[in-house]
Amino acid sequence: MHHERVAILDFGSQYTRLITRRLRDLGAFGLVYGPGATAQEIGGPDLKGVILSGGPNSVMEAGAPDLDPAILALGVPILGVCYGQQLLARNLGGVIHRSSRREYGKAMIRIQDPESLLFRGLEDELQVWMSHGDHVEKAPAGFVVTSHTRGVPVAAMEDRARRIYCIQFHPEVTHTQHGSKVLMNFLHVCGMKLDWNTGQFIEEKTQAIRRQVGEGRVVLGLSGGVDSSVAAVLIHRAIGDRLTCIFVDNGLLRQGESDEVVRTLHAGELAALLAGLASGMVPKMRACLDAILRIEFLSGYVTGDRAAEVRAQGDRARKLWLNPKMASIRLAGRLPDELLDDVE
């Protein structure tokens, strides 16, 4: 299923991911692309709008990130934020003032156009968050200046015919009053249904994993961090015990954290969450886990007599791993070799 989508071109702003978060909070799906993304790459029937993020560069510098001109011809509304505004203004014939010092912090903007679509439903003055060096001195032909500050003559501008909207401030940060309202007004211009939510996303990803894996198996390296843990939960939801997670203690976790990861994510002995393959593991214990990993992986690919042989090897390795004598030292990963001989 394809959701309506806003393409966010990331020109290097520290706030780009916040734009995505704010859109999703409002019920819109935002997808981040690199600054060199082309119209062909971001286009499609599900594209409803484009946002150009801020960035640390000056549009007056040679080699500064630029915009594929064909994006302006995609026929969807465009919102330029900070660097994005300056880039659009420069490319469309406006005048950019290059400043020797940056403006960073709170500022008051004065809304001067009551017909502004971005500022619809807002008061005449707003406190916003600025983070810029250059600014637009003169708007390009076809644009209406909709707000200004004491030191910035073009704090926002709109070309309603071409549906291009620009703001010098950052609506995605909480320091900007009614920033979410500004973004919501842009989404209304885009004509979005605002029906996206995290639950739908999880269900779609789960179904996609089932389609991709089919009847196969998955071996997942698990560190206990956000990325791998979320991946583990999604994959397990999709294919259950056909997922084998390998926790590798790389020595960089805080004291006691590796045990906590195993306790939190170990769904039972047969879930095959293997706490091991760490450098401190004794040889026989490592060999046991290596065997389980190899068997779990191969069992998804081999057939016939070879499959029966692999299953037999797996039964022996699991029997050793699940032996009660092994249980007390499974998390610690350490046991003298002579005691491991007794386990067998």
- Over residues 218-233, the pLDDT tens digits come to 988 888 777 888 888 8
pTM, two decimal places: 0.70
C-alpha span between 86 and 68 (Å, rounded)? 15
Q: Are 112 and 145 in contact (CB under 8 A)?
A: yes
Residues 6+ apart with CB under 8 A from 285: 276, 329, 333, 334, 335, 340
Nearest of 28, 29, 40, 37 to residue 10 by alpha carbon? 37
Q: Is 82 a catalytic residue?
A: yes
Going by pLDDT thresholds of 50, 70 and 90, the confidence category of residue 72 is very high
Reported as a single tens digit per residue, the pLDDT across 232-281 is 889 998 998 898 888 777 677 778 777 777 776 664 433 333 444 344 44
Reported as a single tens digit per residue, the pLDDT across 296-321 is 554 554 455 655 665 565 555 555 54
Q: Give rounded-to-5 percent helix, strand, coil for the chain.
A: 40, 20, 40
Catalytic residue among 4, 82, 158, 236: 82
Catalytic residue among 132, 135, 170, 236: 170
List, by residue range, all CATH 3.40.50.880 domains of the chain.
5-190
Q: Are 149 and 140 in contact (CB under 8 A)?
A: no
User: Which CATH code fits 198-343?
Assistant: 3.40.50
Reported as a single tens digit per residue, the pLDDT across 85-122 is 999 999 999 988 876 556 667 889 999 998 999 999 99
CA angle 14, 15, 17 (to 5 degrees): 105
Question: Does domain 5-190 bear CATH number 3.10.20.30?
Answer: no
pLDDT at 227: 84
Catalytic residue among 132, 172, 190, 245: 172
- Asked if residue 56 has pLDDT above 60, the reply is yes
Q: Is 170 a catalytic residue?
A: yes
- Asked if residue 342 has pLDDT above 80, the reply is no
- Asked if residue 284 has pLDDT above 80, the reply is no
Reported as a single tens digit per residue, the pLDDT across 139-191 is 999 999 999 988 889 999 999 999 999 999 999 998 898 999 999 999 999 99
Interhelix angle 304-322/283-298, nearest 10 degrees: 140
pLDDT at 186: 98
